[in-house]
Each structure stands twice: as C-alpha cells, then as structure tokens.
C-alpha cells in the first residue's frame, strides 16, 4: 500500500493489471484480436456469457478487450481460449524470457511448468534445464516480469528477465509500426489499382467516355476483391461460423455481388450487361481508407494511457555494496536504495532517506506547481525531480506502484460499459440480419416496380454497404476512453462508466468538513483548565491519545511535543465514534469529547460555557475534558482550530454556478459547522451526526429527490460514500474511503469536485452526440439507399466516414480543461 502526502491510491481500489486476473474478485481481462465492428463485440460477448465458468462477460470494441468475471469453482482457461477461437477471434500473445537459477533436474522443470501454467494468463511454458532459461507465452500485455518472477520464486527458484520492460515497449511500438505500414501499403496498392477504374466515372460528367475494356477492368478489380479484400472474407467467415453477422458480412455481400454480376455480364453471350467492377473496387478502397483513419483516431483516443506509461523511466540507479549501478526498473525490488539526480524522473515509489527537492507531480496529481519533498516524506514514481539530489528507499515497485495502479484504474474505467450501451448492444444484435432483409426487400421491390434488375441490384448493394454498425459500437467506448483519460491527466480518477453517468446527473454535493473543506491539520489554539494548570491538562489529554491517527489527536500531541511534556502510558482506551474517547491515565479515568458525550455523562459545562460559546462562534472545535467517576467533574476544555482551505470558497462557488446545492455533513458541533458554511457560502448544514448515521442522512437527501455526490476522506465517511449516488474520495484521505468511492480526486483540492462533474457531463454529452449521429446516420442513410438515391460508391464512402466522424467527435474531448 502506497501512501503519498498529496495522492494516495488504494490497494483494493486499483487492482492488479489492465489485462490480467484480479484474484480478489475473479476478474480476468483479455486482449481480443479480430473484431471489426460492434456486431463482433456483441457476438463474442453473447458466446462468452453462455460459458459455465464465466459469470459475466463484457467486450469492448474500442479497447479490443474482453472483461470476464469468472466462477472460481469452474475456471477453465482452455475453455475460455477455445470459445474465443471458435467465435472467430484470437487472443494476441507475447513471449517473455527468464534466466532461472536453482533447477537441478527434470522434476524441477516439471514443477516450474506446473506452477506457471496455473496462471490464467499463461498459454504455454517452455523450460530448458540445460540453459536454465524459461520462455513464457502469455496473453499480450497481461503479466509483468515482476509477477512472473514472483510465481517462479514461489516454486522455489530465482529468476531475472532477459528482456526489460523498456525493450518490450520498443518491440510493441515496432509491431504497431509494422502493422500500420502493412495496412497503408495495402491501401495504396488498392488505390492505385482502383484509379484507372474510377477515372472514366470522373470524366463522364464532361461527356468523355473512356471505359476500359471489360477484361482490363476484370484484371484490375480481381486482386482488390480477393487479395486486398481477403480480410473481409476471413472476418465474414469467422463471424458467420460464430453464429452472427458483422460489418464484414455486409461488405462481402455487396462487393461480391457487384464483382460476380460484372463477371457474369462480361462472360455472357450478349455482353450487353453493365459492369460494376469500379463499384466493388472503390467500395473496398474507401472502406480500407475509413478503417485506416479510424485506427489512427482510436490510437489517438488512447493517448492518455500511453502518456501515463511514458512516465515510467526505463532504468534506475540502485545502491549495491556501496556503489550505485543502473538496472532496469522492472528489476528494482522493495527496500532497495535508489539515487535520483536533479531533472530525472523518479523510477519507483519510495521514502526520502537523504536530501530534499521540489518535485513536479503534475502528470500524476494534476497539480501544476512543483511540491517540496523532504527527508521522511514519500515520493511517487513518474514525478520529475527538481534541483535536489535524492536518495530514497523503494516502497512499492512494478504493478504495485502508484503510477501502475493509476494506469490500471483508468484502463478499467475505459473498459467498462455505460448503461446506455445495453441499448446499443440490443440494436447491434439484430442490425445485420435487418440490413440484409432490407436489402433483399429493396431488390425485389425495385425489380417488381421498375422491372430493371440493374437499378434493383444497385439499390440493394447500396443498402448493404451504407449500413454501419461500427459507428454504433464506437460511440460510447471512444468517448469513455478520451473522457476518463483527460480526467486522469487533471487528477480525477473515474472508476467506471456507471460512476461517470451518475456524476453527470448530480444536483447536490455533500461535503465532509475535516480534511475536505478544511486543511485536516488542526492546531491547538486555547487551553482552559478549571483546577489543573494548562500544561497538566494538555499532558493528561495528550497521554491518552498517543498512537491515535485522528486529526484532533495529532493536534494535541503536536502541542505537547512543542512544550516538551512528558507523557504517561494510557490504559483501558476506548474510542467513542462521533463523540470522543475515554481512557485511564495514572489511575485517573478521563473522558474527552464533544458536548454530546458530556451530556451523556451528566457533566456540568456551565463553569466554562461562556468561553465555549465564544470559541464555537469563532469556528473552533472544542474538546471537553472530565472525570466521570468523581461527581462528574469538569477539568477543562481545549479549543482546536482547523483552517479552511483557501480554494474551498472558489470550489463551492463553482458548484453553485452550475446550479448544484451544497451541504456540509459533519459530526462536529453545529456552531462550528455553521461558521464554516457561512464563510464558504454553503447552502445547508447537517451537524453533530454520528458516523453510523451519515449514510442515513445521505439516504434522506436522496428520498427528497436529490441526486447526491458525497465528498469525503476519512474512514467514517465510507458508509456515506457508499450510500451516495456517487462517492468522491480525496486522494489524501484514507484507503477505505477511496475503496468505497466511484471517483478518486488525486489532490486534496475541493475544486476538483466541480471539475469531476464537468468532465462527466462533457463525456456523457459526447456519448449522446455520438449515439445520435450513429443512429441518425443509419436511420436516414439506409432508406435513401433503398430508394435508389445513393450509388454504391457514395454509400461506401459514407459508411467508411461514419466511424471516423464518431471517433473524431470523441477526440474533441481532449480540449476539455477544468
């Protein structure tokens, strides 16, 4: 677990890997290869959900991933991979190689193979006893070197990777570059072959008829149809074998019909039939162009993840035997001492042992200004060191690091499905059969009405090629990818699409006070004793609170330390949530807490009531001290002040400008809470609430018609965060709060609340726009094609551009700023 002064990421909230197994919840994420449109994703999802070992499956077209919730009693990775293959898709793999020490015989290799094959992400293991090398074939991007080394060590051996993370990153970039180059080369070849076929069509409006001979058209169109267009035939076959059509089926039906009829007319005895070679060739070329542009746009949409990954340095300078040596970051282990020079990126999370420096954490927390870090403070991997030389002790490395967990959380959010996607999936499921039916009806109708097979044929082809399920399938996930990515760059981590949808509907924001609107670092301002001296009263209360993490306890202990008071060991300490505590100090049972606690024990506060009321009106929190066993004697009162965050007024104002009601929900005294509310302009105060009642207060607001966002940072806020429509946890707060929340704010900055709601609304607006245009496109374009108002070539161009337009619209979200 990593605790950072300005940004803490919860271990339960941010799970293992972007693609891999979340062992606690049996969530398995796999990369999927071969999906071309929304129908593919829907078909694979339907097939996977039928498997006995899979509780639930969600397939994301934009990320090309399948997220599976598995039944722990019947998990079968072979079954999962077999289902994916049978459905016509594949799981891309990569090989990781390790040097293993400690193997002595064949039994060792068998044991090691068995241990590694138990990992769901592992496809194949090859162990070479002679060279002491192990090659592990895994689902691409699912396991890190650290995780595999951990499994090898559990088998009783030691290992080190033969290729670093950086090298694998380079290999992945090279693979993408090669794929792009191949796609572009095919597009150019297709365009060059299509050009002679399309020129006569372009010259025709000028009265120039320059048709190529039929056989020449055949020679140009055939390689486009069956070589360049082979990907469509393969995709259509795999789709139909899986029991459902996809975009490839429509393309193959349309272009094959055009090519086939052209060949028939060319070879027929009369030779008078029209040739459609140019239509089939131009359709394939235009669709390839659209797919190429779509791919570039999708990679651009995923740029947020790549920019986060780029923060990870390749090498770290580690101390060994008194010297510092460079090693791959993947090989840095916990408790190693790492040296960070000025201007370098911090390679791992760690605690500063020596030195101090200003660190730029902007790409992790969204904080624009560098932050001073000194000895004993925690630094986050990926931040940039300023002018100082730092020596740190590594605390978390690899997939457990803060940056890795941020990346994985963003990827999980991007892989999730918005509730509105369920409607899209239902439409997509019947889309292809419906389009084929409409095309068939169009052909028969034109043939019957006009008697022209040519017009009937051309209209039917137009219907087939203009229909585009891809635009529907990409509308939601691409907007989510860009929206959650840009939010992460500004310090807002959105857990999933459900949290995002709930946030954009919110009309009420409820703030916890301490640590959320205030600094969370209170200080003792006044001590009023009745019988003892100020020092004795402070010493008594400080002694009772040793070891406590409560902000008020820290304030008391800090004041005692400043006055160098000698503290006694407490006994029988008992916490009283929402009220205070009781303990025994030097055989004296004392009671420390708020007015509610004093009232429960019939403590008379009148001797100090005037002082208490004055302090409360000034916004101080009071800690009353009493001896309940001695005639309920009041010993005194200690006033603590927690300064309001400078940005809090602006944060509240920003929310109110959006028409949002603001509320304070706190266990503190009503007077203190009202002072804070008055200073910040907050609409409503709910004070003196016990931790267990906070959730009830949230539910009460929801019952009144409020759509509630709860913002908090403490353990006692967790029930309220869970009860709210959306929970927002401050990244400076407790782990439990962040585990419960749907959105984590990486800085203790309440202005991020308005920013989180803003980016949620902007993202959902893009989803609505994308879905509107995707549906409108098909609703308008298919009837136009059926009525013969669009030629197949124009239909193909429109279909190719529809997906590009949807992704491009999503990319506009990158311009969003808080």
What is the rounded CA–CA span in Å between residue 454 and residue 754? 59
3-state secondary structure of 410: helix
Report how far apart the first and last C-alpha atoms of the chain are (Å, whole number). 29
Checking DSSP bridges between strand 323-328 and strand 357-360, what pairing results, if any?
unpaired
What is the rounded CA–CA span in Å between residue 186 and residue 331? 41
* Cβ–Cβ < 8 Å for 455, 97: no
What is the rounded CA–CA span in Å between residue 118 and residue 679? 59
Residues with a known catalytic role: 512
* Cβ–Cβ < 8 Å for 498, 481: no
* Cβ–Cβ < 8 Å for 35, 95: no
* Cβ–Cβ < 8 Å for 325, 317: yes
Helix 751-786 vs helix 421-449: crossing angle, to nearest 10: 10
Give the residue from 806, 796, 735, 772 showing the smallest Cα distance to 286. Answer: 796
What is the rounded CA–CA span in Å between residue 242 and residue 50? 13
How many angstroms separate the Cα of 524 from the Cα of each of 383, 518, 697? 34, 15, 30
Alpha-carbon dihedral 208, 210, 211, 213, rounded to 10 degrees: 160
Largest CA distance in the chain: 120
What is the rounded CA–CA span in Å between residue 63 and residue 588? 64
CA 686 distance to own-chain centroid: 33
* Cβ–Cβ < 8 Å for 477, 813: no
What is the rounded CA–CA span in Å between residue 415 and residue 775? 22
Count CB neighbours of 249 within 10 A: 24
DSSP string, 205-267: GGT---PPPHHHHHHHHHHIIIIITHHHHHHHHHHHHTT---HHHHHHHHHHHHHHHHHHHHH
Helix 277-301 vs helix 214-223: crossing angle, to nearest 10: 20
3-state secondary structure of 397: coil
What is the rounded CA–CA span in Å between residue 153 and residue 328? 19
What is the rounded CA–CA span in Å between residue 672 and residue 600? 20
Give the residue from 91, 49, 90 showing the smallest Cα distance to 71. Answer: 49
How many angstroms separate the Cα of 478 from the Cα of each of 170, 470, 528, 742, 771? 25, 12, 61, 20, 11
What is the rounded CA–CA span in Å between residue 797 and residue 815? 28
* Cβ–Cβ < 8 Å for 142, 17: yes
């Amino acid at each position: 677990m990593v605790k950072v002064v300005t940004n803490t990421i919860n271990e339960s909230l941010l799970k293992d890997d972007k693609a891999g197994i979340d062992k606690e919840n049996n969530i398995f994420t796999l990369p999927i290869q071969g999906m071309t449109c929304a129908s593919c994703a829907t078909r694979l999802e339907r097939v996977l959900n039928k498997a006995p070992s899979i509780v639930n499956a969600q397939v994301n077209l934009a990320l090309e991933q399948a997220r599976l919730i598995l039944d722990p009693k019947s998990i079968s990775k072979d079954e999962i991979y077999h289902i994916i293959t049978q459905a016509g898709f594949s799981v891309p793999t990569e090989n990781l190689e390790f040097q293993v020490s400690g193997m002595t015989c064949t039994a060792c290799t068998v044991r090691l193979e068995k241990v590694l094959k138990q990992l769901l992400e592992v496809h194949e293991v090859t162990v070479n006893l002679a060279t002491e090398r192990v090659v592990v074939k895994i689902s691409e991007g699912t396991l890190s070197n650290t995780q595999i080394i951990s499994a090898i060590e559990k088998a009783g051996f030691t290992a080190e990777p033969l290729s670093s993370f950086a090298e694998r990153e380079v290999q992945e970039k090279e693979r993408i570059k090669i794929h792009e180059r191949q796609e572009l080369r095919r597009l150019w070849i297709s365009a060059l072959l299509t050009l002679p076929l399309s020129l006569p069509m372009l010259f025709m409006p000028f009265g120039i008829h320059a048709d190529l001979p039929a056989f020449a058209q055949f020679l140009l169109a055939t390689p486009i149809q069956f070589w360049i267009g082979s990907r469509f035939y393969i995709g259509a076959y795999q789709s139909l074998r899986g029991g459902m059509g996809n975009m490839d089926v429509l393309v193959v039906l349309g272009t094959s019909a055009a090519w086939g009829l052209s060949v028939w007319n060319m070879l027929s005895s009369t030779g008078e039939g029209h040739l459609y070679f140019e239509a089939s060739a131009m359709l394939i070329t235009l669709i390839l162009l659209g797919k190429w542009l779509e791919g570039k746009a999708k990679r651009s949409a995923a740029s947020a993840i790549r920019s986060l990954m780029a923060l990870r340095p390749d090498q770290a300078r580690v101390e060994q035997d008194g010297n510092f040596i460079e090693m791959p970051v993947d090989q840095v282990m916990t408790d190693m001492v790492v040296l960070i020079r000025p201007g370098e990126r911090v390679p791992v999370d760690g605690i500063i042992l020596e030195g101090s420096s200003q660190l730029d954490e902007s790409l992790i927390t969204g904080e624009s200004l560098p932050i001073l870090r000194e000895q004993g403070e925690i630094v986050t991997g990926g931040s940039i060191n300023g002018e100082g030389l730092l020596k740190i002790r590594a605390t978390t490395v690899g997939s457990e690091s803060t940056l890795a967990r941020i990346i994985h959380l963003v990827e999980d959010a991007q892989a999730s499905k918005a509730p509105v996607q369920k409607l899209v999936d239902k439409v997509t499921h019947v889309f292809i059969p419906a389009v084929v039916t409409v095309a068939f009806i169009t052909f028969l109708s034109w043939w019957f009405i006009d008697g022209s097979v040519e017009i009937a044929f051309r209209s039917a082809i137009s219907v087939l090629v203009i229909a585009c399920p891809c635009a529907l399938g990409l509308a939601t996930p691409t907007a989510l990818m860009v929206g959650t990515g840009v939010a992460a760059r500004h310090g807002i981590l959105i857990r999933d699409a459900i949290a995002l949808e709930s946030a954009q509907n919110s009309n009420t924001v409820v703030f916890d006070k301490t640590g959320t609107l205030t600094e969370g670092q209170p200080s003792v301002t006044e001590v009023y004793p009745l019988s003892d001296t100020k020092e004795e009263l402070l010493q008594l209360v400080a002694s009772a609170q040793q070891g406590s993490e409560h902000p008020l306890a820290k304030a008391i202990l800090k004041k005692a330390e400043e006055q160098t008071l000698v503290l006694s060991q407490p006994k029988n300490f008992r916490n009283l949530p929402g009220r205070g505590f009781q303990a025994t100090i030097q055989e004296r049972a004392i009671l420390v807490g708020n007015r509610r606690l004093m009232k429960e024990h019939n403590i008379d506060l009148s001797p100090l009531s005037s002082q208490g009321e004055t302090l409360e009106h000034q916004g101080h929190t009071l800690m009353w001290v009493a001896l309940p066993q001695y005639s309920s004697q009041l010993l005194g009162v200690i006033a603590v002040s927690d300064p309001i965050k400078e940005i809090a007024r602006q944060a509240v104002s920003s929310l109110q400008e959006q028409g949002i009601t603001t509320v304070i929900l706190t266990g503190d005294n009503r007077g203190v809470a009202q002072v804070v509310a008055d200073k910040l302009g907050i609409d409503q105060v709910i004070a003196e609430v016990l931790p267990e009642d906070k959730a009830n207060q949230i539910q009460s607001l929801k019952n009144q018609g409020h759509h509630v966002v709860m913002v908090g940072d403490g353990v006692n806020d967790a029930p309220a965060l869970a009860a709210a429509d959306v929970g927002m946890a401050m990244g400076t707060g407790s782990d439990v709060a962040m585990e419960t929340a749907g959105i984590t704010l990486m800085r203790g900055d309440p202005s991020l609340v308005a920013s989180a709601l803003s980016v949620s609304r902007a993202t959902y607006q893009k989803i609505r726009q994308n879905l509107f245009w995707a549906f409108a496109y098909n609703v308008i374009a298919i009837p136009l094609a059926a009525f013969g108002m669009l030629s197949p070539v124009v239909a193909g161009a429109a279909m190719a551009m529809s997906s590009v337009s949807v992704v491009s619209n999503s990319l506009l979200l990158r311009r969003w700023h808080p």
